[in-house]
Amino acid sequence: MPLYHTEDQAMLADSARGFMAEEGNISKQLRHWRDRNCKDGFGHGLWKQMAEMGFTGMLVSEDDGGLGMGHVEAGIVLEEIGRNLTPSPFLTSSVLAATALGHASSDLKGRYLPGLIEGESVFAVAIDETAKHRPSRIGTRAEKSGNGFKLSGSKSFVIQGASSDMIVVAARTSGSDEDEDGITLFAVPQDADGMSQNPVRLVDSSMASHIKFDGVELDGDAVIGEVDGGREVLNAMLAAGRVGAAAEGVGVAQGAMDMTVDYLKQRKQFGKLIGEFQALQHRAAHLYSEVEVARAATIKAQQLLDEGAPSADLMTSVAKAKVAKAAGLAVKEGVQMHGGIGMTDEYDIGLYMKRDRALAEFLGDAYFHANRVAQLSGY
Amino acid sequence: MSDLEKFRAETREWLEANCPEEMRQPVREDDDVYWGGRNATFKNDAQKAWFEAARDKGYTVPSWPKEYGGAGLSPAEAKILRQEMAAIGARPPLSSFGIWMLGPALLKFGTEGQKKRFLNEIARGEIRWCQGYSEPGSGSDLVSMQTYGEDKGDHWIVNGQKIWTSYADKADWIFCLVRTNKDDKYKGITFMLFDMAGEGVSTKPILLISGNSPFCETFMDNVKVPKSYGEDCPGYVGEINRGWDVAKYLLGHEREMISGMGGGDRLTAIGTAMTRHAAKNGDEIDPVLRSEMALFDVDALAFTAMAEKFMDEMKAGKGHPAQPNMMKYVGTEINKRRHELMMSAGGSRSLEWESEETRGGKAPRDWLRTKANSIEGGTSEVMLNVISKRILELPGG
């Protein structure tokens, strides 16, 4: 598979780009909802429109009513989301939760997937229990109780947790906290008794919940996949989410870089366009190179994941880490090269910096993934 | 079975039968690489057998047309051959500036007579070429060069000096940029071809900080360069005074080649080998060094993907024409970092300059050699200038 988009994918990219620039742009979405202190941090109207575009169910199989597309296609949509800083449940619902639900019983699929595909439902995933991503450790417990389970423990930084109709929760059904085995995934409805959420607003205006489960009773059919065998599904979900976050990060980087390069061509100081100064030219050219390399790593990871290649896991961590570094550079250079105006709330470049910070942390930062690259490579 | 699958099966079989085991080992010594030329000698029978088999099959230059000594492979077939060779770790049967640089220039700008003669000689490894571009005072600012060819009707008389001519002391012929018009900086350069055994050409190796001297100074003292070597075979490539077009095209190739040194197409982390090697010698990798290696591997593996993407895009005609500059910049910076880490991982052993165990201080010599990567073929700073002007379209001279 060559490392560029096929004709069909290029067409999808064109329509996603047009749609997101028109409907998902910063003034219509991010600033609009932020300035109204929206409790969800995103607009349900846009989510509905994304369903009409066919985006919401793109990773859902055709048998289950979706489009049966792959990570390259989901990445195309995510890049445009990143470029426009569009707040939406796409990454959590259509990528992470959809991947988990792909392993669910037909009963669970029937309950949740139509709502996702129609843009009616929003899902969240609850994995982390600490401020740093550490999915090897799952302490939240689900004890057998009657025909079902009783869920106890807590999860932190669950993105859009309070806005979701259902939350995919990774819990421990056997073993100790650090064990590989003994994990089970559950589909927990928003209205479950004993679940309490404490939503907090994050730096990028998105909402995340700290969730407590106090003996939440779940039916046996809330289980996604196999009891005690959830690690595999969790890993599939993480891989999809990480490669998706990388794609969104490429969009954030590109958006910030484009803004900055435009600014270099307009802003005059000392009687010259600042883009004429070699000190800035070299930094801009270095930034361009880093973003291109990050983009290449991302499409490579998407393709390997779609092929089910053994090296997909390694490349996914390479992409997540590389994008975090490149996008981090893009937003830092962006703010610095804009000078004073870059520090104002009125100007958009700072919004890129905030989104990048949240995205870089989500599902493991550059250091987490560099460490993983070393571990997967045997050192 | 599709045609390509069939080609892959046949290629695998052919390699199995023709690539000796000894040629499937990493290159360790300088003479593990076969460069061809009038005075070439083979290191051993395996090197000879592998070269001859590849030459007869057209696999020294697989994608060149058959009539010019190649195998006429399509891009897809050439990729398969590369993959299959990489899979068994096969060494290139022949390395040469003729293949990497002059060949592509002749394919694009040469006359039929030049192609027939020179491309075949290159493919068969008969003539070893070197490149005469830089001059003292004209490095990355190549067009400021002074070597002058005075027009004498059917020939030029060339006087001047070139520098950084890699392996000029071992080369048979030179492709050389010569000023033929002093009034126009760009449209006054001719891309000449001449035999270095001729009168007036002399070379002197330049000792580098690595203690080696792949580079030379080359002096031209009243060298007679014919305008023609026979029917349809001019002594220059392209048009007279328009050699800059050829040189520019060729520099693109050189940059790809140098950038490729940081790449390769296998997803292999460098940290693995460095850590294993250290452990074998009873050394421990410091956690901070390990984290440096991990961050490096992220960049190197991402660049490997970039190299693959770049090749795919080039073949499909999708790439930006200045993209090789970006590849050169990133690839050479990565290669330098790689060797810095290798020096750290090796500890004091990497300092040994001369010992059998360290194969003559290969690690420190290679480390020092890589410092040239971001200078030769245009400095990193020149690459950044090109990216900012031609890709980002930033303003100003």
CB contact under 8 A, A289 and B330: yes
CA distances to A73, A89, A302, A320, B367 from B337, rounded to whole Å, are 34, 40, 27, 21, 9
A31: left (phi over 0), alpha (psi -120 to 50) or beta: alpha
Q: Which of B276, B329, B385 sits opposite A281 (nearest CB)?
A: B385
Output the CA torsion sign for A14, A18, A20, A25.
positive
Does the predicted model carry a pTM greater than 0.80? yes
Quick check: A245 and A320 in contact, CB under 8 A? yes
Query: Which of B275, B384, B395 minimises the CB distance to A265?
Result: B395
pLDDT band at A1 (very low <50, low <70, confident <90, very high): confident
Q: Burial of B155 by CB count in 10 Å (0-12 exposed, 13-18 middle, 19+ buried)? A: middle
How far apart (Å, rounded) are the C-alpha atoms in residues A252 and B192? Answer: 49
**Could you write out the three-class secondary structure of B313-327?**
HHHCCCCCCCHHHHH
Give the pLDDT confidence score for residue B263 in this predicted structure. Answer: 38
Q: How far is B244 from chain A (nearest CA, A)?
A: 25
Torsion angles phi and psi, residue A296, rounded to 5? -65, -45
Residue B258 confidence (pLDDT):
53
Q: Angle at Cα A130 formed by Cα B302 and Cα A190, nearest 5°? A: 105
Tens digits of residue pLDDT in A28-73: 999 999 999 999 999 999 999 999 999 999 999 999 999 999 999 9
Structure tokens at B189: 């350069």
Report CB contact under 8 Å: A284, B392: yes
Mean pLDDT within A283-287: 98
Nearest-CA distance A83 → chain B (Å): 18
- Tell me: the pLDDT tens digits for A140-168? 999 999 999 999 999 999 999 999 999 99
Identify the pLDDT of residue B268. 81
Binding-face residues of B in 241-270 toward A, CB within 8 A: 267-269
pLDDT band at A257 (very low <50, low <70, confident <90, very high): very high
CB-based contact B271 A374, cutoff 8 Å: yes
Contact list, A325 vs chain B (CB under 8 Å): 298-299
A 320-359 residues with CB below 8 A of B? 321-322, 325
Q: DSSP 3-state assignment of A14?
A: helix
Contact B164, B236 (CB under 8 A): no
Look at residue B264 in the predicted model and tell me its pLDDT: 40
Which residues of chain B have a CB within 8 Å of the CB of A299?
305, 309
Of A284, A294, A297, the CB nearest to B394: A284
The residue ranges of chain B whose pLDDT is under 50 are 260-265
Distance (Å) of CA A337 to CA A253, A260, A284 = 15, 7, 9
What percent of chain A is modeled with pLDDT above 90? Answer: 99
* Model confidence pLDDT, tens digit, residues B22-65: 999 888 778 899 999 999 999 999 999 999 999 999 999 999 99
- Rounded Cα distance between A86 and A17, Å, is 12
The pLDDT value recorded for residue B257 is 58
Rounded to whole angstroms, how far apart are CA atoms A315 and B45? Answer: 41
Quick check: A285 and B391 CB within 8 A? yes
List Cβ neighbours of B286 (8 Å cut-off, separation of 6 or more).
none
Judge contact between B163 and B142, C-beta under 8 A.
no
Instruction: Give the containing element (helix H, strand E) for B205.
Output: strand B201-205
Quick check: A369 contacting B, CB < 8 Å? yes
Helix (H) or strand (E) holding A209: strand A207-218
Contacts of A7 (CB under 8 A, 6+ apart): none
DSSP H helical ranges for A55-197? 71-84, 98-101, 106-117
SS3 content of chain B, % helix, strand, coil (to 5): 50, 15, 40
- Taking chain A, what is the end-to-end CA distance rounded to the nearest angstrom? 30
**What value of ipTM does the predicted structure carry?**
0.95
pLDDT score recorded for residue B254: 65
Q: Distances in Å between the alpha carbon of B77 and those of A6, A20, B63, B74?
A: 20, 40, 9, 5
Distance CA B231, CA A225 (A): 76
| Average pLDDT of the segment spanning A182-195 | 97
What's the average model confidence in pLDDT over A260-279?
97
- Residue pair A174/A191 in contact (Cβ under 8 Å)? The answer is no
- Residues on chain A touching B315 (C-beta within 8 angstroms): 2
What is the model's pLDDT at position B83? Answer: 86
Return the residue in A373, A375, A376 with the most chain B beta carbons within 10 A, the one to mutate for interface testing: A373
**Mutual angle of helices A366-376 and B287-315, in 10-degree steps:** 90
pLDDT digits (tens, 9 = 90+) for B339-365: 999 999 999 999 999 888 888 888 999
pLDDT per residue as tens digits for the range A213-252: 999 999 999 999 999 999 999 999 999 999 999 999 999 9
Residue A264's pLDDT is: 98
How high does pLDDT run on average in chain A?
A: 97
Question: B83 — contact with chain A (CB < 8 Å)?
Answer: no
User: What's the half-sphere exposure (Cβ side, CA atoms, 13 Å) at A94?
Assistant: 31
Q: How far is B251 from chain A (nearest CA, A)?
A: 19
Structure-derived torsion over alpha carbons of residues A90, A247, A318, A209, reported in degrees to the nearest 10: -30
User: Of A302, A330, A306, A250, which Cα lies nearest the Cα of A4?
Assistant: A302
pLDDT at B262: 38
- Beta-bridged to residue A101, according to DSSP, are none
Q: Which of residues 299-358 of B touch A (CB under 8 A)?
A: 299, 301-303, 305-306, 308-310, 312-313, 315-316, 318, 326, 329-330
Asked if the C-beta of A10 comes within 8 angstroms of chain B's C-beta atoms, the answer is no
Start-end of H helices in A131-277: 230-264
A379 touching chain B per CB within 8 A: yes
Closest residue of chain B to A3, computed from CA coordinates: B309
